[in-house]
Amino acid sequence: MVIWFDIDNTLYSASTKISHAMGERIHAYFVSLGLDEDEASELHHKYYKQYGLALRGLTRHHSIDPLDFDQKCDGTLPLEECIKPDLKLRKLFEDLDRTKVRVWALTNAYKNHANRVLKILNLQDQIEGLVYCDYEQPHFTCKPEPEYYHNAMRIANISDASKCLFIDDSKINVIAAKKLGWGRCAHFHETGLDVVEGGRQTTLDGDSAADVEGIAVVKDLEELRTMWPDIFIS
């Protein structure tokens, strides 16, 4: 089995407000393309909704350099001020039974940002591998595109989708995995927090995947211990 963890807003709480900082930077990037404030907001939100990632729309419809985008947006986030190593989270990873499950990260970020977060969280040595969005490829794929999940399985060398376990704070990403037959999927869903999605402020209250057949909803990663006890050292 392989357990796949999303990184942003999953391994750390949305209460860190990193999504706000990210939203501001992405907005500025859209404005730098010559759009006015309203157009920038509109398009940012549209691409996020349509592609699951604003950058995916930017690379499809505008001639931008994704690595430049990454540097200006994710690369300038004050992560060290917002995220701290989390001893409880590290213990959760240490308690995963490695004779039963391999542990991977599956992110829509580029490797620089992903590795930076994993390093701050002191989890780098807990993860066997990282599947990231390869912004160096002009037509890179990302969650929730099926190809991205297939590619992830290839990289981790696992062919049986039913042996994939997945946890992500994005409902559409979790639903996409479930549709592909990933065995156990959990939607990490915090409530009562303000987040920025696609440049728009929203609260995380509604919209969990609780109504979707076969998807579990957790608001704390510690719940994985009781939900999937077979993958933890007892």
CA gyration radius, the chain: 17
Q: Contact at 8 Å (CB) between 117 and 11?
A: yes
CA gap 208, 65 in Å, rounded:
34
Site size with Mg ion, rule: CB under 5 A = 4
Residues 6+ apart with CB under 8 A from 99: none
Give the residue among 106, 37, 110 at the shortest CA–CA distance from 68.
110
∠ CA 47-51-53, nearest 5°, is 75
Smallest gap from Cβ 95 to Mg ion, in A, equals: 22
Of 64-72, 114-122, 162-170, 179-187: span binding Mg ion (CB under 5 A) = 162-170
Of 4-12, 159-167, 194-202, 208-216: span binding Mg ion (CB under 5 A) = 4-12
The reply to whether 126 sits near Mg ion by the rule CB under 5 A is no
The reply to whether 16 sits near Mg ion by the rule CB under 5 A is no
Residue with Cβ nearer Mg ion (36 or 194): 194
Residue with Cβ nearer Mg ion (35 or 112): 112
Smallest gap from Cβ 35 to Mg ion, in A, equals: 26
Smallest gap from Cβ 133 to Mg ion, in A, equals: 12
> What residues form DSSP beta bridges with 218?
188
The reply to whether 74 sits near Mg ion by the rule CB under 5 A is no
Residue with Cβ nearer Mg ion (25 or 31): 25
CA gap 168, 106 in Å, rounded:
9
CA gap 199, 22 in Å, rounded:
8
Among 2, 3, 9, 101, binds Mg ion (CB under 5 A): 9
Q: Is the peptide bond before 78 cis (omega within 30 degrees of 0)?
A: no
CB neighbours of residue 11 within 10 Å: 24
Smallest gap from Cβ 143 to Mg ion, in A, equals: 9
Smallest gap from Cβ 168 to Mg ion, in A, equals: 6
Token pair in block for residue 210:
């609780």
Smallest gap from Cβ 96 to Mg ion, in A, equals: 20
Of 5-13, 33-41, 83-91, 224-232: span binding Mg ion (CB under 5 A) = 5-13
Site string for Mg ion, 165-204 (x = CB under 5 A): ----x-----------------------------------
The CA-atom distances, in angstroms, between 103 and each of 1, 17, 151, 177, 181 are 9, 26, 16, 17, 19
Residue with Cβ nearer Mg ion (11 or 101): 11
Which parts of this chain interact with Mg ion (CB under 5 A)?
A: 6, 8-9, 169
